[in-house]
Structure 1
């Protein structure tokens, strides 16, 4: 016989053994269902938490966002419900209009949130690089600037896509316009025999500049000159060259670099 303090349950027949086994399986099943329920609850909580965070950020920039969302919901709900009500019945129209109205309100909030995010970073060093992060497939963005002025923090970023090589400026117009010819001259000998065009896009709100919210759309409108394979080949060629990287040590934040005043004085 097993010791009295043994954790193993004492059974005296097959029926009791089956009952214990059945009880153990039921306990394991209940634990599995509890874990699944907790995961679902955490996912829902995380989803609504993200929505609340985005809404709060957007409202800080656009105080009327709640009214715009309500208006989008009511208009979409009304149109959808009336159309479906006339085609089928009013119950179906209401059931169809509710999710459509919510979808319209969410789309509006996302667009306003994007504008609010751009407004928060506009004018800061590296804002163009952050905007380039919204580009989809087909574009290769290098996060580190290919050219930078530590004094003014003006920078030029490199993007490769079907239009070819695109140089994106970020910073004061006067500083970047002095840097563009030198940067372009670095790449011209490499691309001269390939026929790959070099585009220069200056970000900002001045004349001839592209605002950050419109940067990705502007890039997509550029004339296509390469196919997917040529884009990959061009990126590999540029990445293998030392001039495709800025003269900044690895691990150093280029926007925290400050010029050496003693070295400048000589």
Structure 2
């Protein structure tokens, strides 16, 4: 029987991420080492000042420095890897969907597949549903995607008039949201829905075009007043 292909472990995955990031951003090595060695050096100095002659305390200081250094190094490497990946995706079709499905996880219902596409220009609309309501991410120049954006927003407002609809443009315009800031911008939106209401909104949005019945027990029209859609 052929052996099943095993997925790489966490350490192997981290090493792969580091190697890929280093190809596009060589400074990741320097910053990661500084973040690891910095806390260790501070711990050694601190132990010599505050625990001179006490071996046990000295060991504790160093161990804590190593742990903090490794944690800080992993965090910084992850941030650099994420930023580098976003820069590589900038301007590519489907990049917004990849960010939504990768960066928005807990509390958000997303997909890397667009909900609408202009077949001529390949401009696309991606959707995320969460406690902030419905977020439409328009991929393409603002002027060219205005009609596509208005059509999708109109559908959302007609289906759920009391749910906030936020439209964000990711494109070459100066007023557009940079791909690197997309997930942060969405996470900063005010939370106005409960988890149960998010589920209802998701089901209602999935029913576009087939009149799927509303689940019993929760009426989306009962959702408390959340202001007019933006």
Q: TM-score, normalised by structure 2?
A: 0.78
Aligned to 2:98: 130
Distance 1:186 1:58 in 2: 40
- Which one of the candidate residues 168, 176, 179 is aligned to 1:201? 168
Aligned to 1:109: 77
- Which one of the candidate residues 171, 175, 183 is aligned to 2:144? 175
Aligned to 2:17: 54
Distance 1:157 1:140 in 2: 11
Deviations 1:50-96 (A, max 9, x none): 22211111111111211111211222212334445526732322222
Q: CA deviation at 1:171?
A: 2.3
Distance 1:178 1:243 in 2: 23
CA RMSD of aligned residues (A): 2.3
- Which one of the candidate residues 162, 166, 169 is aligned to 2:135? 166
Aligned to 2:122: 153
Q: Does 1:65 align with 2:28?
A: yes
CA contact (8 A) 2:115 2:127 kept: yes
Distance change >3 Å, CA 84–CA 176, structure 1 → 2: farther
Greater fraction of residues in helix? 1
Q: Does 1:144 align with 2:113?
A: yes
Distance 1:214 1:74 in 2: 30
Gaps in structure 2 of 5+ consecutive residues: 1-5, 212-230
CA contact (8 A) 2:141 2:173 kept: no
CA contact (8 A) 1:82 1:93 kept: no
Distance 2:156 2:210 in 1: 8
Distance 1:138 1:221 in 2: 13
CA contact (8 A) 1:168 1:202 kept: yes
Deviations 1:132-154 (A, max 9, x none): 01212111114332221122111
Distance 1:151 1:162 in 2: 34
Q: CA deviation at 1:167?
A: 0.7
CA contact (8 A) 2:134 2:166 kept: yes
Deviations 1:2-32 (A, max 9, x none): xxxxxxxxxxxxxxxxxxxxxxxxxxxxxxx
Q: CA deviation at 1:164?
A: 1.0
Q: Does 1:74 align with 2:37?
A: yes
Distance change >3 Å, CA 187–CA 203, structure 1 → 2: same
4+ residue runs over 3 A deviation: 45-48, 80-85
Which has the larger displacement, 61-70 or 84-93? 84-93
Gaps in structure 1 of 5+ consecutive residues: 1-41, 245-266
Distance 1:148 1:93 in 2: 57
Q: Does 1:210 align with 2:177?
A: yes
